[in-house]
Amino acid sequence: MAGNTDRAGNKPLIERRSIDYIPEVERHGRLLSQFTLWLGANLQITAIVTGALAVVLGGDVFWSLIGLLIGQLLGGGVMALHAAQGPKLGLPQMISSRVQFGVYGAAIPIVLVCLMYLGFTATGTVLSGQALGQLFGVSDTIGILIFASVIVLVTVLGYRVIHWIGRVASVIGVIAFVYLFSRLMSQTDVGALLEIRHFSWSSFLLAVSLAASWQIAFGPYVADYSRYLPSKTSSVKTFFAAGAGSVVGAQVAMILGVFAAASANGQFAGHEVAYIVGLSGSGAVAALLYFSIAFGKVTISTLNSYGSFMCIATIISGFRGHLQVSRMQRLVFVLVIVGAATLIALLGQHSFLGAFKSFILFLLAFFTPWSAINLVDYYCITRERYDVPALADPNGRYGRWNLLGISVYVFGVLVQLPFISTKFYTGPLVAALGDVDISWIIGLVLPAALYYVCARKWHGTVPDQLILPVEQSSVVQPKTSGAGRAAAQA
């Protein structure tokens, strides 16, 4: 542990790595930071609103809470399995997609992930702009611009600052939520709400889907924040550290949303921020809650922007043939990403943002099958035996395009379409299922099963063991043979 602390203390404030492999000598951090990061990322207003939807759309309190918990555990398990890849590979999450899709082919799901996180950043910026506008007594537009400036700064600074923000956000979030729960309990007969139990499969599955989709959405970038952990870090401990932080944080926030919506008598929808802050009354406490809401969104919006930067850099590097990204390129990418999200937020704060959010939720269908393919390949087919140097070589082991992975991915997207339910698009089988969107279940199970069966027969060559880049600081290089030596020197 002392070694980790020493290495962390020698790290520069501004992250110099981007999507390239993290050498062992630069690994630092503790598992606790994974827990606090994801706890802070989930103790925020959007999670409250997501939980409230279970009641706003017709569910009762008791079964909504159970459904949300089941969804958290299912989706959180998927999210945490991705997190466990970070320390072993030392790479951002989406780079590993090149094993399943090819060096060029990985751009297909990555482009769609970029669009989704751009939308998440934009919608979060609107809510944060409202909170900052109330806090500083300025317009929502000015609040949005202030928030965007903070996101640019934190994203450019990178990994260490993001984790620091996560720790602070978790502390602020816990204090704010304890206070809000105490106020809500003093104003609401919680026991009476829990006694109203009208089970409905459609409402129950809706609650499960809301929570599961929330957790699965973290999959494409969760390993970005665990890749600096020492490679010997236990995969099981990484799984539970990241997964527990995310599940606990999201469930607490959604419980608050459920009780708030159930006791609001129709005043919650459309006035989410004002209603939550209104639980405390006004004055200094309300100002602190507005600050807490804005700061909570800093964490998750930074994760979205940082993840988008990683995705864009991954796409470009695949066609350029190397993984390095300069600090100036990093700054340009971040400015473009946050600038686009801010523009969308400014245009949509009063009009089309609701429809745009539906479009973003529709995009979830495009990376659920990616998650299934990536996890099955990593844990069941290659079993962690990746050739990391070959991920940057279009002529290497993984090639330019992997038709097997791409074909299963396309199948996974298409098979979900009849089950998707959003304002942007509704599938033909949704009505028969009580208007419940179960596409995430279809998108996980069927592509996973198909890929497992096909990959066992037609998968490309798999290394005998995990092959990592030769680290320049090594005094004595281990002997390798055959494909291992060629890949290590690539």
Residue 359 lies in a domain: no
Give the tens place of pLDDT for each residue, 258-275: 998 888 776 666 666 777
Considering the domain boundaries, does residue 170 fall inside one? yes
Residue 70: pLDDT band (50, 70, 90) is: very high
CATH label of the domain that carries residue 343: 1.10.4160.10
At residue 6, the pLDDT reads 40
**d(C-alpha 271, C-alpha 302), whole Å:** 24
Q: What is the pLDDT of residue 40?
A: 87
| Rounded distance between C-alpha atoms, residue 431 and residue 434, angstroms | 5
Domain of 285 in residue numbering reads as 2-352
Residue 387 inside a domain? The answer is: no
Instruction: Please report the beta strands in 143-281, taking only residues with DSSP state E, as ranges in sequence order.
Output: none
**Residues sharing a CB contact under 8 Å with residue 425, sequence separation 6 or more, in sequence order:** 362, 417
Classify residue 397: in a domain, yes or no.
no
Q: Is the pLDDT score of 85 beyond 80?
A: yes
Q: From residue 371, how far is each of 129, 154, 218, 379, 413 by CA, in Å?
A: 32, 27, 10, 12, 12
Written in H, E and C, the secondary structure of 173-211 is HHHHHHHHHHHHHHHCCHHHHHHCCCCCHHHHHHHHHHH
| pLDDT given at position 269 | 63
Distance CA 489, CA 410 (A): 34
Q: Which one is predicted more confidently, 89 or 489?
A: 89
Residue 425 lies in a domain: no
Of the listed ranges 91-95, 115-119, 143-147, 401-405, the one predicted with least confidence: 115-119
Is 370 among the domain residues?
no
Residue whose C-alpha is closest to residue 374's, from 19, 78, 81, 100: 100
Give domain status of residue 29, yes or no: yes
36-40, 383-387, 429-433: range with lowest mean pLDDT: 429-433
| DSSP at 18 | S
Is 156 within 8 Å of 393 (Cβ atoms)? no
| Per-residue pLDDT, 378 | 94
- Tens digits of per-residue pLDDT, 407-454? 999 999 999 999 988 877 889 998 888 788 889 999 999 999 999 999
**Between 282 and 345, the higher pLDDT residue:** 345
CA distance 258 to 270: 15
Confidence label for 154 from pLDDT (cuts 50, 70 and 90): confident
pLDDT at position 480 is: 41
Output the average pLDDT for the chain.
Answer: 83
More confident residue, 20 or 179: 179
pLDDT confidence of residue 35:
94
* pLDDT exceeds cutoff 80 at 403: yes
CB atoms under 10 Å from CB of 186, counted, come to: 8
- Comparing 73-82, 173-182, 313-322, 452-461, which segment has the lowest mean pLDDT? 313-322
Please tell me the predicted confidence (pLDDT) of residue 478: 43
pLDDT at 9: 47
Could you tell me if residue 198 is inside a domain?
A: yes
Phi, psi of 156 (to 5 degrees): -65, -40
pLDDT at 488 over 60: no
101 vs 279, higher pLDDT = 101
Tell me how crowded residue 9 is: count the other CB atoms within 10 A of its CB. 8
Cβ contact 184:260 at 8 Å: yes
Digit-coded pLDDT (tens) for 283-331: 778 788 888 877 878 888 888 888 788 888 888 777 776 656 677 777 8
Give the pLDDT of residue 415: 96
What six digits make up the tokens of 276?
């939550």
As for how many domains the chain has, the answer is 1
pLDDT: is 458 or 278 the higher one? 458
294 vs 63: which has the higher pLDDT? 63
Residues 6+ apart with CB under 8 A from 305: 117, 121, 151, 152, 155, 334, 337, 338, 341
Output b/e per residue, 50-87; b: 16+ Cβ within 10 A.
bbbbbbbbebbbbbbbebbbbbbbbbbebbbbbbbbbb
